[in-house]
Structure 1
Amino acid sequence: MNVVVTEYSDNWVQNYIEESQQIRSIFGQELVDIHHIGSTSVPGLKAKPIIDIMPVVKDIKQVDSFNEQMRSLGYECMGEFGMSGRRYFRKGGDNRTHQVHVFQADNEEDITRHLAVRDYLRTHSDDTQRYGELKESLARQFPRDIEAYMDGKDTFVKELETKALNWYNVSKDS
């Protein structure tokens, strides 16, 4: 997979809205909520132009019954794909355009982690800028090696998640 990091685009919000509407129609009554997450959900953040979507559902096992409908939208159905309690779908092959991370509503840990990082980056521009610069630098270093790119972000992302969760829990309690 080629690693391309671009400047933030306002089109990403519209791409999320359009795709989330299609996912809503597939998941129907099973859907509790749906969120735009990941770097494309943070205004001003440089990112790989891949829209990350997080549907929250009543029963994660029911999501498997939607695989054929997700395939009809162009998604690969990847199952848990290394994360217990998740259903993961990706679209676009080597030129990925969308990723869908589905969690059950009572999986507060994973849901909160994604929302905390998104909301933290939306309100902490210094960390947003540092993260964007890191991603841009790694993409230049490893333009055809997604694993090396991901490994290069790992320490920063773990520290970011810790800061974001602490911030999120404090701001939620106040």
Structure 2
Amino acid sequence: MRKVEVCSYNEKWPLMFLEEAEKLKLIFGNEILDIYHIGSTSVRGLKAKPIIDIMPVVEDITLVDKYNEEMQNNGYEPKGENGLLGRRYFQKGGDNRSHHVHIYQVGSNEIKRHLAFRDYLQSHPSLKKTYGDLKERLAQQFPHDIESYINGKDRIAKEIEEKALEWFKENQKHTLIIDGDSYAME
């Protein structure tokens, strides 16, 4: 049974992302156009489940399936779309997951959604703390019930996402956030 664990931010998470991103680049080669660290482990200071979420962007999502065997050889379980049309999803680590890979085709709205959520939380410290504290409480309340954990944070996550997309639309031309550091763009 998978245990729901939320822990304090780990300074090693960005390095773990970079290491795994390099492995994915070796597997997929030129298929990958961009690759992003997403999810809670990508937000400096946010409490999170210690699972690195990675979002490669490819030109043609249908070509990803031909890499399933190589992904399996590297410890990943191919899950197909796994409930999200146009995505290819892989997970590593079984019940003790270490990595999730969410691959999207360039132009997918999901790319913007993930980046907006990440950058919005990074840019709003009080909301980041509120969200992290809620996740920690839910993990303590439902240590062996991932569905209840997810349902418990669903409302606030959707509220954050809605605000984040509006914020992102207004700010994407002016700010770039890389590993939690903001850079003003002219």
Q: TM class by shorter-chain length?
A: over 0.9
Identity %: 55
* 1:124 corresponding residue in structure 2: 124
Q: Which amino acid aligns with 2:140?
A: R
* 1:152 corresponding residue in structure 2: 152
**Large movers: runs of 4+ above 4 Å:** none
**TM-score, structure 2 length as denominator?**
0.92
SS of residue in 2 equivalent to 1:101? strand
Whole-Å Cα distance in 2 between the matches of residues 58 and 66 of structure 1?
15
Deviation at 1:172, TM superposition (A): 2.2
* 1:70 corresponding residue in structure 2: 71
* 2:35 corresponding residue in structure 1: 34
Deviation at 1:122, TM superposition (A): 1.0
1:22-171 equivalences under 5 Å are: 22-107=23-108, 109-171=109-171
Structure (1/2) with the larger helix percentage: 1
Q: Deviations over 1:56-95 (max 9, x none)?
A: 0000000001111111110000000000000000000111
Q: Which amino acid aligns with 1:64?
A: D
Whole-Å Cα distance in 2 between the matches of residues 50 and 138 of structure 1?
17
Q: Which amino acid aligns with 1:68?
A: E
Q: Which runs of 5+ in 2 are unaligned?
A: 175-186
Q: Which amino acid aligns with 2:76?
A: Y
Deviation at 1:173, TM superposition (A): 5.0
Deviation at 1:34, TM superposition (A): 0.2
